[in-house]
Amino acid sequence: MSDAAASTAALDPHHDATTSTGIPNKKLLMWAFLASDCMFFGCLISTHLIYRLHPPPGNPDPREIFNPPLTSFSTFILLMSSLLMALAVSAIQRGNVRSMRHALLGTIFFGCIFLTCQVYEFSDFVFDKHMTITNCILGSTFFTLTGTHGCHVAVGVLWLTLMYIRSFQPAEGTSGNAWFLRNLLHMALFVAAIGLSMYLVLDLVHGLQAAALTAALPAFLRRDALFLAGAIVSYVGLNLLGRTRGPVSFNEANAIDVESMGLYWHFVDIVWIVIFTVVYLLEYI
């Protein structure tokens, strides 16, 4: 544990005077971890590409399975989420907690859109195109690769949510137990809001694909009234809990944690850049 010559004046997010190199420990840790994750995804992508070199007879043609418009849309979404993440980091480095919260919410929102698109894509491939993870080698490699990436996105969304909630921690002097329970409630509301929203969007989309708008919409409302109510309640709850009450113990000193999280999120984005090109686009040349 390095000796902290405790000087809190003029925190520079790019320079930590207590370390030998000036690089903050957490930043160095995250970059080393990302180097490791490069090898991780490298091997997974290699597996997929190796199996695309010599597809066995009976292996489906990706061009008959993939949905380029959907995947392009997801790619844009992830790119925009990366922008919002960078803005969140920038905001907290300037000590602006409110802007950071908004940018984090935006990142979470876009991340969830990406995940919803992925769930839609998977269910489309499995149920409509009849490519499952077990019935062909393309399915095995594709779902494992993009599924692992999706898990990384989900972990990122979880982390973002927890960081967002953490930014409401009241400054010292308030009762510890009450805040902790409020914390748990906030997490539960996020789980409900995200889960219900994803389900509702997917159900609506499937409904619209099956029938025209005039028929699908009322059917959807009837079918999912309860879920819809639940979602609305969650959003209202999130809104209420999202109001600041007094000083919080979250400022520039926490910027390093947000920045580390940001590095992870951007990495997930660049892995997708590689996957999008190598798994999707290259099949269409």
Partner 1 sequence: MSESASPATAAGGHAHDESKFHIFVQLAMILAVITGVEIIMVYLPFAYGVIFSILVILSAVKFLCVIFYFMHLRWDKAFCTILFFIGLVLAGGTMWALLRIFSVSDSKPLTSSFNRAAPVHETARG
Partner 2 sequence: MSPPMQDALVKTNFITEEPHAPAKHLVLWRPTAKTGLISWLTTVDHKRIGFLYGISALFFFLVGGFEALLIRLQLAVPNNTLLTAEQYNRMFTMHGTTMIFLAIMPLSAAFFNFIMPLQIGARDVAFPRLNAFSYWTFLVGAIIINLGWFMKDGPPNGGWFGYTPLTTKTYIPGHSIDMWVMGLQLLGVASIAASLNFIVTIINLRAPGMTMMRLPVFTWMTLVTSFLIVLAFPAITIALVELMMDRLFGTNFFEVSNGGMPILWQHLFWVFGHPEVYILILPAMGIVSEILPTFSRKPLFGYPIVVFSGACIGFLGFGVWSHHMFTTGLGTVTTAAFALATMAIAVPTGVKIFNWIGTLWGGHLRMRTPMMFALGFVWLFMIGGFSGIMHSAAPADAQQHDSYFVVAHFHYVLIGGSLFALLAGIHYWFPLMFGRKVSEFWGKLSFWVIFVGFNTTFFPMHFLGLNGMPRRTFTYDANMGWNDGNLISTIGACILGIGIAIYFTVMIFTYFKGERVGRDVWDARTLEWSLPNPPPEYNFAVIPTIHARDAWWYEKHHQEEIEKEKAAHAGAEASHGGIHMPFPSIYPFLSAIGILIWAVGVAVIDPSPAPGIHLKLGMVFVGFAFMFANVYLWSLEGADGYHLHPHEEHNEPSQQEAHQ
Scanning residues 189 to 248, which ones bind partner 1 (CB under 8 A)?
none
* b/e map 1-32, b = 16+ CB within 10 Å: eeeeeeeeeeeebeebeeeeeeebeebeebee
Minimum distance, C-beta of residue 1 to partner 2, in the bound complex (Å): 4
Contacts of 138 (CB under 8 A, 6+ apart): 51, 52, 55, 59, 60, 62, 65, 131
Instruction: Pick between residue 65 and residue 189 the one whose CB is nearest to partner 1.
Output: 65
Which helix (H) or strand (E) segment is 270 a member of?
A: helix 255-275
Minimum distance, C-beta of residue 58 to partner 1, in the bound complex (Å): 8
Q: 139 to 158, contacts with partner 2 by CB under 8 A?
A: 139-141, 144, 148
Contacts of 14 (CB under 8 A, 6+ apart): none
User: Residue 4, interface with partner 2 (CB under 8 A)?
Assistant: yes
Q: 11 to 40, contacts with partner 2 by CB under 8 A?
A: 19-21, 23, 25, 28-29, 32-33, 35-37, 39-40
Where in the chain does DSSP place strands (E)?
A: none
Say which entry of partner 2, partner 1, none residue 274 contacts (CB below 5 to 8 A, set by partner kind).
partner 1
**Which spans of this chain sit near partner 2 (rule: CB under 8 A)?**
1-6, 19-21, 23, 25, 28-29, 32-33, 35-37, 39-40, 42-44, 47, 50-51, 55-56, 58-59, 133-137, 139-141, 144, 148, 162, 176-177, 179-181
